[in-house]
Structure 1
């Protein structure tokens, strides 16, 4: 196991470590890509004559994957979709730093017909566990509880109004 993988495992073992990991990924491009499977995308890109050269990043969160794609696939564009409007500022910053190569949409697709949806983000103390966020409160709670089973009964839920 690489040093990077060991550090990720330690940081992800508690919400406070998760918060630190998010800070590090937000601010240090050398840590990207943050998962090994991203290195397969340049291999695929070389094998496919795809004229549009655009990656769709569904569930952008804070843009870590989008930034990894930008880093690994020079000449490609990334369009990110994110349901949580709280990430707008961060995604806008990425767009400004990658003019012409990055864009994003704040919105969600749901199986609910019509109406508005809300986005739920689990919290532990003051730490938003946005990677477990979901359009359904039960799904958000189960996602965070699965990641931190010993803390499941200490999680609160932040309900975010719909973005669109």
Structure 2
């Protein structure tokens, strides 16, 4: 079903001209409109499948890889990529020469991080969630060789030389 120009423009603006899944900037002409909840599982009781709430701006790569799958199936497909690549000879060479840094992590889509900024339903609600978020950031910094000196949290971390980042959360931090 064709999507009218007004709806298409609204979909494009949903995440500021970025793919809702990977977060890369996309030109309006290159945007593909993805049905967040696939048409094959859409129930008319939920309303029109082409309602703006079910439409997401997507880059070609993400839209083709997601296909007509649910969000959780797409998340699993993305999470499986490192495992699928591990047996590749060139990948093994890249790891051996440290051109490739293995960094498996939970898959969080761009729209989820954007909604977390404005929607209390997605907000971090516990010290454990905050620690997971911060450690994910720190692991990423260590994996890219940037270490802790550039930590935006002004020294709540230290690299003890073992590749593990230690996060220190002051008692007065309010979660």
TM over 0.5: no
Which protein is bigger by CA-based radius of gyration?
A: 2
TM-score by length of 1: 0.25
Larger strand fraction of residues: 1
TM-score by length of 2: 0.24
